[in-house]
Amino acid sequence: MARAAAGAGARRRGAAAAGGAARGAAGAGAAAAPPTAARVFNFSAGPACMYEDVLAEAQREVLDYKGCGMSVMEMSHRGGDYSAIHDAAEADLRELMGVPEGYSVLMMQGGASLVFAGLPLNLTARADAVDYVVTGSWSKKAAQEAGKFCDTVNVVQGDNKSIPDPASWALTPGSKYVHLCDNETIQGVEFQGAPDVGGRTLCADVSSNFLSRPIDVSKYGVIYGGVQKNIGPAGLALVIVRDDLLGSPRADCPAMLDFSTLAEARSLYNTPNCWNIYMCGLVFRKLLDMGGLEAVARANAEKCAVVYGAIAESKGFYDCPVDEAVRSRMNVPFTIPSDAELEKAFISESTAAGLVNLKGHRSVGGMRASIYNAMPMQGVHDLAAFMKDFQARHQ
Ligand code: PMP
């Protein structure tokens, strides 16, 4: 069994999915390598599908990185070969995102969850107030973590299906920052740009829509996310922080969470996650070669339109609970409102058809299609065809 994630009985992509032959893979061809028969379409929310040509490149280099006679996993993080990888990854990320002068890029271990603690420890004193806009599970978690470090965490509560109008947000006068989750991975609620927060410092968790579209970095004080959805393997968080926010960590902030220490050391304070940074670097280069984030965003818009289109065309057989204006381009949650039992059949039949990991998060149920950058266009067309066929057979 080549892939445990596929589960028993999952058909590989080479076989026609239930619902018929795959349709036009073109369009987002730029977004992904052609599928191979050995792999499934993986709709996991993260860790998630990666570009096949990136995986193949890593495979080619795993024993001997460019004639070094060793793997990136075996190199000293202070040596010249790794330094070149590290520097190129940072430079390419800066180019991709158009990071302006005056921002530092940190490549941290510990994932986005550790950054939840890093924000208050670097940007506040205990007595300071902070504002958290809660639009789903991850922003709620971030707010809860901040509550361990700040006396006042003011929550602007949404309903997990929409985003309250920023003009209505009751922000705290003098708060140190406003935090939001740019894309709620579980609920599928996505901000469509940076909201106006009245000149306050805006901090955004972009874990699940990282590099999925252009972003105006200058509107944010901190942009951060784990890489295991849209970029690379789990275990690395990228933090882009405006330099005026550096320099005043709390006295008891651990060194590994101290943004200033990491910035000064250029993410080499200790041994970094070298292999992961190498993998992310391959993805950054690929995205630049594809034409940058505008091209990526066009492909993503096309892909999510196919899935939301399939839901709309079902005339209520499938339902997406999220307000149309804030629907995520990355995570599409949907249900079968008429019969929850049918959802179980949907998940097992789709798995058998090689469309795997479509089960919704355990906290909300239903289904969820995570269609990150590396999901090929073919994957969403196969999913839409499967949805139509499933409806025809079960309605
Ligand atoms: N924020 C969001 C939006 C997420 O989706 C996740 C992971 N699912 C996290 C934070 C936590 O990330 P990590 O596992 O890297 O700590």
pLDDT of residue 263: 98
Q: What is the pLDDT of residues 340-371, one digit of tens each?
A: 899 999 999 999 999 999 999 999 999 999 99
CA 112 / ligand 1 centre spacing (Å): 5
Q: Within this chain, do residues 225 and 341 fall inside the same structural domain, yes or no?
A: no
Whether residue 205 lies in the annotated active site: yes
pLDDT of residue 29: 36
Residue 212 in any domain: the answer is yes
Residues in CB range of 301: below 8 A, 6 or more apart: 329
SS (H, E, C) the chain: CCCHHHCCCCCCCCCCCCCCCCCCCCCHHHHCCCCCCCCCEECCCCCCCCCHHHHHHHHHHCCCCCCCCCCHHHCCCCCHHHHHHHHHHHHHHHHHHCCCCCEEEEEECCHHHHHHHHHHHHHCCCCCEEEEEECCHHHHHHHHHHCCCCCEEEEEECCCCCCCCHHHCCCCCCCCCEEEECEECCCCEECCCCCCCCCCCEEEECCCCCCCCCCCHHHCCEEEEECCCCCCCCCCEEEEEEHHHCCCCCCCCCHHHCHHHHHHCCCCCCCCCHHHHHHHHHHHHHHHHCCHHHHHHHHHHHHHHHHHHHHHHCCCCCECCCCHHHECCCEEEEECCCCHHHHHHHHHHHHHCCEECCECCCCCCCEEEECCCCCCHHHHHHHHHHHHHHHHHHC
Q: Within this chain, do residues 325 and 235 fall inside the same structural domain, yes or no?
A: no
pLDDT of residue 1: 29
Q: Within this chain, do residues 344 and 328 fall inside the same structural domain, yes or no?
A: yes
Q: Which residue minimizes the CA distance to atom 14 of ligand 1?
A: 111
* Atom of ligand 1 at shortest range from CA of 182: 3
Q: What is the pLDDT of residues 308-342, one digit of tens each?
A: 999 999 999 999 999 999 999 999 999 999 998 99
Between the CA of residue 237 and those of 49, 102, 208, 301, 348, what are the distances in Å?
A: 18, 20, 12, 25, 33
* Atom of ligand 1 at shortest range from CA of 183: 3
pLDDT of residue 157: 97
Q: What is the pLDDT of residues 90-103, one digit of tens each?
A: 999 999 999 999 99
Q: Within this chain, do residues 172 and 122 fall inside the same structural domain, yes or no?
A: yes
- 74-77: Cβ within 8 A, 24+ apart: 75/274, 77/268, 77/271, 77/272, 77/274
* Whole-angstrom distance, CA of residue 358 vs CA of residue 346: 9
CA 24 / ligand 1 centre spacing (Å): 33
- The first and second tokens of residue 351, run together, are 């798995």
Residues with CB under 6 A from ligand 1: 46, 111-113, 138, 181, 185, 205, 207-208, 226
* Whole-angstrom distance, CA of residue 278 vs CA of residue 93: 12
Residue 272 in any domain: the answer is yes
Mean pLDDT estimate for the chain: 92
Q: Within this chain, do residues 247 and 372 fall inside the same structural domain, yes or no?
A: no
Provide the whole-model pTM: 0.93
Structural domain boundaries, residue 122: 75-289
357: left (phi over 0), alpha (psi -120 to 50) or beta: left
Q: Which residue minimizes the CA distance to atom 4 of ligand 1?
A: 207
| pLDDT confidence tier of residue 28, bands split at 50, 70 and 90 | very low
Across 267-279, average pLDDT: 98
Q: Within this chain, do residues 150 and 182 fall inside the same structural domain, yes or no?
A: yes
Instruction: Tell me how many domains the chain contains.
Output: 2
Neighbours of 173 (CB within 10 A): 7
Residue 175 in any domain: the answer is yes
* Whole-angstrom distance, CA of residue 67 vs CA of residue 82: 13
Q: Within this chain, do residues 327 and 182 fall inside the same structural domain, yes or no?
A: no
Between the CA of residue 191 and those of 198, 260, 321, what are the distances in Å?
A: 17, 29, 16
* Mean pLDDT lowest among 76-80, 142-146, 183-187, 362-366: 362-366
Last residue of a domain, one of 259, 289, 319: 289
pLDDT of residue 3: 35
Q: Within this chain, do residues 186 and 94 fall inside the same structural domain, yes or no?
A: yes
Residue 283 in any domain: the answer is yes
Q: Within this chain, do residues 320 and 273 fall inside the same structural domain, yes or no?
A: no
Which of 44, 107, 138 has most ligand 1 atoms within 8 Å of CB, for mutation?
138
Last residue of a domain, one of 232, 258, 289: 289
pLDDT of residue 98: 98
pLDDT of residue 235: 95
Q: Within this chain, do residues 44 and 100 fall inside the same structural domain, yes or no?
A: no
What value does the CA radius of gyration of the chain take, rounded to a whole number of Å?
21
The pLDDT > 70 percentage for the chain reads 91
pLDDT of residue 8: 43
Q: What is the pLDDT of residues 60-82, one digit of tens each?
A: 999 999 999 999 999 999 999 99
- Which residue of the set 92, 131, 138, 182 is catalytic? 138
Q: Within this chain, do residues 219 and 106 fall inside the same structural domain, yes or no?
A: yes
Whether residue 275 lies in the annotated active site: no
pLDDT of residue 38: 79
Residue 60 in any domain: the answer is no
Q: What is the pLDDT of residues 218-270, one digit of tens each?
A: 999 999 999 999 999 999 999 999 999 999 999 999 999 999 999 999 999 99
Q: Within this chain, do residues 271 and 312 fall inside the same structural domain, yes or no?
A: no
Whether residue 66 lies in the annotated active site: no
| pLDDT confidence tier of residue 25, bands split at 50, 70 and 90 | very low
Residue 56 in any domain: the answer is no
The pLDDT > 90 percentage for the chain reads 90
Q: What is the pLDDT of residues 112-135, one digit of tens each?
A: 999 999 999 999 999 999 999 999
